Chain A
Amino acid sequence: MTSKTNDAIEVRNAVKRYGDFTALKRVSLTISDNEFFTLLGPSGCGKTTLLRMIAGFEDVTEGGIFLFGEEIEGLPPHKRPINTVFQNYALFPHMTVLDNVGFGLEMLGKSKSEARKRAGEVLEMVQLSQFSARKPSQLSGGQQQRVALARALAPRPKVLLLDEPLSALDLKLRKAMQIELKHLQKETGITFIFVTHDQEEALTMSDRVAVMSAGEVQQLGDARDIYERPRNMFVADFIGETNLLEVTVDRIEAGRAACHLGGGHRLTCDAVDGIGAGAKVHMSLRPERLFLSSAPTESESLKARVRENIFIGTDISTILDLDDGPEFRVRASNSSRGTSRVFEPGTEVFVNMEQGAARLLVD
């Protein structure tokens, strides 16, 4: 394989068992050099276990892990050119900020003065130079987070692992750090592997995302892919808000699947590999890609009754009851230019969909 050297990390058939419990069920994935890669999933999905296996804190029960084509499984953490930003930072409390950041370089055999010089540069990069003489306990949470980041970046690792590094920050700071991390990754050109349970964070920052659940990768792709073309129920439900409807596929023609749902409503959407005529499956309808009207705009508009409007600042979310069908949500931007207007509760309306709003899911 010629492209081999372009893969920063390859996880090959990795299995992790703790006694009878299988935390990771045969995961394989490759992460390219310079990539911002995210492992996304709810707690207990195996994402942190996978990260810790790459760092060397956990051994691999079966399978292998490769760094630029070289097997690293079996190497202790201190022999892997990989650094980690820990969830609760794990800053050394008895050392100054400068010594924390210089620690890795010192361990790599750099002289104390050289380590300090480089540490100072990295601290400047994260705008913390003026705090270099302080102890970690004298810093705010956000500042500690930057020190942890600087400490992990200072030895110029080949891969940087980030274990939910933003989860302890408040919303505003978190948003600012998301952008900053993304820029830092571009600037340094280091491969970032980021672990989070926050889907919005994952979509904002990542080049590619692996959605994980129950020890398996459910879907791997770029943010758009995962959001707009979820492969299964789990991904559709976990990423963003969606309407999940039970449908029956009637027939497939020219790459389109004609379906019906309870109450005789008909819907047509793109066919998906592995779902044939007669299949009873779930369909995902993204609420922001639906709009309401007082008269049907197309043959497949769904007739419904407005139950409630919920104001969420940027958007207005409308809950509807489909005639003889399930509950339904439609989301419209809170703007006068919006395609959807707001209807009073009790009003009879029609739900129309944009191209690609509906998606069939493999269970």
Chain B
Amino acid sequence: MAGGAATGGSSTSDTYAEARTWLLLPAWVTLGILVLAPVAIMLVYSFLTKEFRGGVIWEFSLGAYDQFFCNRGLFGDEPCSIEWTYIQIFWRSIWQAGAATLLSLAIGFPTAYFIATRPPRQRTLWVFLVTIPYWVNLLIRTVSMKFLLRDEGPLNDFLTGTGLLSEPLAIVNTNFAVQLGLFYSYLPFMVLPIYAAVERYNFALSEAASDLYAPRWTVLRRILLPSVKPGIIAGCILVFVPSLGSFLAPDLLGGARNFMIGSLIEEQFKGNAGNWPFGAAASMILLTMVLIILLIFARQQAKAEG
């Protein structure tokens, strides 16, 4: 390596460079097989022609994207006007995932703060308790949630039994039920990064702020929140992104009217009725959107840091 020799690196730096190549190999292989290859396959499939019984015909086509964005009338022979069906599903998904994220934040932040302020020995136990429900399969948890929330379920039995309500509250098959389901599915992803951030937080800063005449809420807003912001952002991303593509909670708790993007994609690959290129195109659009949202986040973060 001429560059290495020129900078006075001699043989040792060459050895290091070589070792580094080998040591990084597993990371590159994993990244390639688990991330890049699947995305590449999806990208390619989204530009192929659909086979009616699932699968694809190896022939280039923009049909999938056309179907997503263009309404060409009942017989498919009209000029392109905007197709709102899928855009609406996307919009609903973003809205639902956003609401679930806010709900997780509202519950997750106090929970994480509570755990991080326990004596050190107790913290591990609390973290453990938070994760216990997640040892149960997601499907079973979501179905159980439906049983809890339905008109004849324990929640409504309680509400009507105690006379708080005369009619059972219809929660299942509403947007709110989906938000609750998503919230419950991904809560630990909110709690854990925030917990890690609060645990690292130097509480002397809060003392310093209150010493400098800041009331409690101001201490929270001006000192604690900015200090643990990276944890909050990580938590929000970890809840928002999987919520956006989720299909279990919307399917089981939301009913047909509350269809989300995850269900749309799932349907394209299920059984014989599917449309693989269309599913792949929808996935690519979802992926692009998530990337754009994350980039905006990162850009703002960088701006805030100055």
Q: Which residues of A contact B (CB under 8 A)?
A: 55-57, 76-79, 82-84, 86, 88, 90-94, 103-104, 107-108, 151-152, 155
B226 engages A94 (CB within 8 Å): yes
Given B208, B214, B218, B226, which contacts A90 in the complex, CB threshold below 8 Å? B208
| A312 to B179 alpha-carbon distance, docked (Å) | 74
Are the C-beta atoms of A90 and B212 separated by less than 8 Å?
Answer: no
A-B contact pairs, 10 of them (CB 8 A): A55-B211, A77-B210, A83-B212, A84-B207, A86-B207, A94-B227, A104-B213, A107-B213, A152-B212, A155-B213
- Asked if B234 lies at the interface with its beta carbon under 8 angstroms from chain A, I say no
Contact yes or no, A78 B213, CB < 8 A: yes
Nearest-CB distance from B128 to chain A (Å)? 27
- Kindly identify which residue among B205, B211, B213 contacts A92, using a CB–CB cutoff of 8 Å: B205
Q: Which of A56, A93, A94, A104 contacts B212 (CB 8 A)?
A: A104
Tell me, in angstroms, the Cα distance from A86 to B223 when the chains sit together: 16
Known: A78-B210, A93-B205. 19 other contacts (CB 8 A): A57-B207, A77-B207, A77-B211, A78-B212, A78-B214, A78-B215, A84-B207, A84-B211, A90-B205, A91-B208, A92-B208, A103-B209, A103-B212, A103-B214, A104-B213, A107-B218, A151-B212, A152-B212, A155-B212
CB <8 Å contact, A76 and B210: yes
Which B267-302 residues have a C-beta within 8 angstroms of A? none
Cα A57 to Cα B226 with chains together (Å): 23
Contact B210 A86 (CB under 8 A): no
**Which residues of the partner chain B approach A88 to less than 8 Å between Cβ atoms?**
202, 204
Closest to B203 in A: A90
Query: A84 and B227 in contact (CB under 8 A), knowing A78-B214, A90-B202, A155-B213?
Result: no
What interface size band does chain B fall in? 10 to 19
Query: What is the distance, in angstroms, from B203's C-beta to the closest C-beta of chain A?
Result: 9
The interface residues of chain A lying within 8 Å CB-to-CB of B213 are 78-79, 104, 107-108, 155
Q: Chain A residues with Cβ under 8 A from B214's Cβ?
A: 78, 103, 107
A86 to B210, CA, bound (A): 13
**Which of B204, B212, B227 has the most chain A CB atoms inside 10 A of its CB?**
B212
Closest to A84 in B: B211
Residues of B within 8 A of A77 (CB): 207, 210-211
Report B-chain residues with C-beta under 8 Å of the C-beta of A56.
Answer: 211
In the bound complex, CA of A56 to CA of B204 (Å): 13
Chain B residues with CB under 8 A of A152: 211-212
Q: In the complex, what residue of chain A is closest to B219 when comparing beta carbons?
A: A78
Complex interface: chain A residues within 8 A of B218 (CB): 107
Using CB atoms, name the residue of chain B closest to A88. Answer: B204
The distance from the CB of A71 to the nearest CB of chain B, in whole angstroms, is 19
Report the minimum CB–CB distance from B235 to chain A (whole Å): 19
Question: How far is the CB of B138 from the nearest CB of chain A, in Å?
Answer: 37
The residues of B that contact A76 with a CB separation of less than 8 Å are 210
Q: Which of B209, B215, B218 has the most CB of A within 10 A?
A: B209
Which of A79, A92, A93 meets B209, CB within 8 Å? A92
The winner among B207, B213, B218 for most chain A CB atoms within 10 A is B213
Q: Which residues of chain A are within 8 angstroms of B202 by Cβ–Cβ distance? A: 88, 90
**Once bound together, how far apart are the Cα atoms of A151 and B215, in whole Å?**
17
Task: Report Cα–Cα, A313/B179, bound state, in Å.
Answer: 75
A86 engages B204 (CB within 8 Å): yes
For the complex, give the distance between the alpha carbons of A79 and B218 in Å: 14
- Chain A residues in 8 Å Cβ range of B208: 84, 86, 90-92, 151
Q: When chains A and B are docked, how far (Å) is the Cα of A266 from the Cα of B163?
A: 95
CA distance A92 to B203 in the complex (A): 11
Q: Mark B173-211, 1 if CB is under 8 A from A, else 0.
A: 000000000000000000000000000001011011111
Q: What are the residues of chain A within 8 A of B223 when measuring CB–CB?
A: 92
Return chain B residues, CB-CB under 8 Å to A90: 202, 204-205, 207-208
Closest to B226 in A: A94
Alpha-carbon separation in the docked complex, A55 to B215 (Å): 15
Q: How far is the CA of A91 from the CA of B207 in the complex (A)?
A: 11
Across-interface contacts of A57 in B (CB, < 8 A): 207, 211
Q: Which residue of chain B lies nearest to A52 when distances are taken between CB atoms in the complex?
A: B207
B207 (CB) vs chain A CBs: closest residue: A57
- A27 to chain B minimum Cβ distance, whole angstroms, is 22
Identity of the chain B residue whose Cβ is nearest the Cβ of A81 in the assembled complex: B213
B211 touches A78 (CB 8 A): yes
Alpha-carbon distance between A55 and B208 when the two chains are bound, in angstroms: 10
Cβ–Cβ < 8 Å partners of A94 in chain B: 226-227
Q: How far is the CB of A292 from chain B (nearest CB, A)?
A: 51
Query: Which A residues are in CB contact (< 8 Å) with B204?
Result: 86, 88, 90
Question: In whole Å, how far is A301's beta carbon from the nearest beta carbon of chain B?
Answer: 56
**CB-defined contacts of B205 to chain A, threshold 8 Å:** 90, 92-93
Chain B contacts of A83 at CB under 8 A?
A: 211-212
Which 4 residue pairs spanning A and B have beta carbons closest together? A104-B212, A107-B213, A90-B208, A90-B204
